Structure 1
Amino acid sequence: MDMALDLVAGIGRATLSLFRVTGAIALFALSGLSHIVRPPFYGRVFWGSFLETGFFSLPVVALTALFSGGVIALQSYTGFAQYHAQSAIAGIVVLAVTRELGPVLAGLMVAGRVGAAMAAQIGTMRVTDQIDALDTLSTNPMKYLVAPRLLAGLVALPLLVLIADVLGVAGGFLVAVVKLDFSATAYITATLNALKTEDVTVGLVKAALFGFLITLMGCYQGYNSKGGAEGVGSATTAAVVAASILLLAFDYLITDLFFSH
């Protein structure tokens, strides 16, 4: 009987903790969004975060997309050749890249690179009392540290995903033409026929949401870190893990919303 009660009590504590954390993150996000649309706006912080999130993440995202597109073409050929359906490879590549792999892989790469960096940077400011110093100087930490980073994530990741889409399709094209002896003209024609505006648009919507979630978790974990250097390390890990899980969960929800009918 006591064991059953302890189990129920443990489940109750875990559930309450989950709701408490979810509520805290939601309030943090609403506060950050509200500061985006209210002056003053710290343009220098925004551009620094935009460059860090977008431009400096471009090499790793580009390489990931290029090789992923090539792998899709290669694996599709292995399966479709059994049914003499090799002509569908171009459509499969462009569909997979624009709907899923472009936004998801770009998001995961940025989460590992930028989300961790933001959590470490803001967490270090928290444990060294620099955030308290901003308050002392009459500078709102949410407006100065969080809002520009959230906006940078919203803007930068869709641009990264556009580039990832192009390079992913290019990777599939290179493998198909160079290794699998496809006709370049026929492959390009099949790709253009399979390309749909809706797929690209939904991928960009996903990218904007993923960029927001990545920067949100980086800022939230860093802003609420404590315990010195160890706490900053824990916040960095938590930011990457939480952003990756949320990214995949929302990817499923958006895909179900737009493509399940």
Structure 2
Amino acid sequence: MPKNLYNSDESTLKTPSFITLIKDKSVSFFIDISNVIEYLKTVMKNLFTKTFEFQEFLKQCYQIGNKSVGLISITGIIVGLVLTIQSRPPLVEFGAVAMLPGMVAISIIREMGPVITALICAGKIGSSMGAELGSMRVTEQIDAMEVSNTNPINFLIIPRVLAATVMIPLLTLYADAIGIFGSWLGINIKDNVSLSLFINQAFSQVEFIDVFPAVIKSFFFGAVIGLVGCYKGYNAGRGTESVGIAANSAVVTSSLLLIIVDLIAVQITDLF
């Protein structure tokens, strides 16, 4: 009889042990950390060079604002409406309806506006950066730039990161204004308050300490979105499915980092 070539006692498909799995995951994690550190070092080194692509920076600023302003407008009005409608009944019970504009304005300016704007831009802008740079990696356009002695970091990554860092705070301020306007619409569902009176009541409660930290952390939100989106797209794999993976990973990672940055910012603000 012919010799059995498939010995069941020595299967080639062995399930890795728990220790091996932990070891592989740990090695992969530290490799990713080293790649991220090297990427950040490269970006920071090229950030202060003379070869700054100003036209590409303006193009990315326009695209970021143009792609996000419509969705942010709708979301801002809805957030203002919802906060007002949900907050009004408890204040009516205590006879403190006059505090509603100021309470909603502070909530939007300090937290809701920056965070919701950043999360929307993470889904809109981060995925776009990841997909665009990922497709350029798959089609070897980035390799062609490197071969032709063109620095892809200066042309592709720096303008996108700076554009996101500049535009997210502007979009945040716009979202704050739209959210406060939505709150005025929400108040006028049950009451009749003029816009000028509402603005006076809202901003009489807002102080500089409410606005300044929110604006500062929105700069960090923009930097996180730009850096993560460009990193995931720039380091995408070679297959066509890598484009979708890069876009999805950019959204998930940046959204998680935004929540962490917001937590740190709130803790720092609470010290003052």
TM-score by length of 1: 0.91
Q: Which residue of 1 aligns with 2:172?
A: 161
Structure 1 runs not aligned, ≥5 long: none
In the alignment, residue 189 of structure 2 is paired with which amino acid?
A: K
Aligned mates of 2:251, 2:145 — CA distance in 1 = 26
1:106-185 matches, within 5 Å, as: 106-176=117-187, 178-184=188-194
Aligned mates of 1:91, 1:18 — CA distance in 2 = 46
- Structure 1 residues 102 and 231, CA gap change in structure 2 (3 angstroms): same
In the alignment, residue 249 of structure 1 is paired with which amino acid?
A: I
Conserved in 2, the CA contact under 8 Å of 1:36 and 1:148? no
Conserved in 2, the CA contact under 8 Å of 1:32 and 1:150? no
Out of 23, 26, 32, the position equivalent to 2:43 is 32
Instruction: Report how far residue 8 of structure 1 moved.
Output: 5.0
Residue deviations 1:187-227 (CA, integer Å, cap 9, x gap):
32221111122221111112111111111111101111113
Residue deviations 1:109-147 (CA, integer Å, cap 9, x gap):
111111111111111111111111001111111111101
Out of 21, 30, 34, the position equivalent to 1:19 is 30
- Structure 1 residues 66 and 8, CA gap change in structure 2 (3 angstroms): same
In the alignment, residue 56 of structure 2 is paired with which amino acid?
A: V
Aligned mates of 2:201, 2:63 — CA distance in 1 = 36
Aligned mates of 1:7, 1:226 — CA distance in 2 = 28
Q: Which residue of 1 aligns with 2:105?
A: 94
Q: Which residue of 2 aligns with 1:68?
A: 79
Aligned mates of 1:166, 1:200 — CA distance in 2 = 12
In the alignment, residue 202 of structure 2 is paired with which amino acid?
A: T
Aligned mates of 1:96, 1:11 — CA distance in 2 = 43
Within the alignment, does 1:216 sit opposite 2:227 as a pair?
yes
- Structure 1 residues 70 and 253, CA gap change in structure 2 (3 angstroms): same
In the alignment, residue 268 of structure 2 is paired with which amino acid?
A: L
Task: Pick which of 90-99 and 12-21 moved more.
Answer: 12-21
Larger-Rg structure? 2
Aligned mates of 1:19, 1:180 — CA distance in 2 = 57
Task: Pick which of 165-174 and 179-188 moved more.
Answer: 179-188
Conserved in 2, the CA contact under 8 Å of 1:153 and 1:212? yes
Q: Secondary structure at the match of 2:204?
A: helix
Aligned mates of 1:132, 1:155 — CA distance in 2 = 29
Percent same amino acid at aligned positions? 31
Task: Tell me how many residue pairs correspond in the alignment.
Answer: 256
Out of 227, 237, 253, the position equivalent to 1:242 is 253
Within the alignment, does 1:203 sit opposite 2:214 as a pair?
yes
Instruction: Report how far residue 108 of structure 1 moved.
Output: 1.0
Out of 228, 231, 242, the position equivalent to 2:239 is 228
In the alignment, residue 124 of structure 1 is paired with which amino acid?
A: S
Aligned CA RMSD, in angstroms, stands at 1.9
Aligned mates of 1:257, 1:23 — CA distance in 2 = 28
Aligned mates of 1:38, 1:224 — CA distance in 2 = 23
Aligned mates of 2:104, 2:28 — CA distance in 1 = 42
1:37-56 matches, within 5 Å, as: 37-56=48-67
Q: Which residue of 1 aligns with 2:7?
A: none
Instruction: Report how far residue 11 of structure 1 moved.
Output: 4.0
Q: Which residue of 2 aligns with 1:254?
A: 265
Task: Pick which of 63-72 and 53-62 moved more.
Answer: 53-62
- Structure 1 residues 84 and 118, CA gap change in structure 2 (3 angstroms): same
In the alignment, residue 262 of structure 2 is paired with which amino acid?
A: D
In the alignment, residue 87 of structure 1 is paired with which amino acid?
A: A
Structure 2 runs not aligned, ≥5 long: 1-15
Aligned mates of 2:19, 2:95 — CA distance in 1 = 57
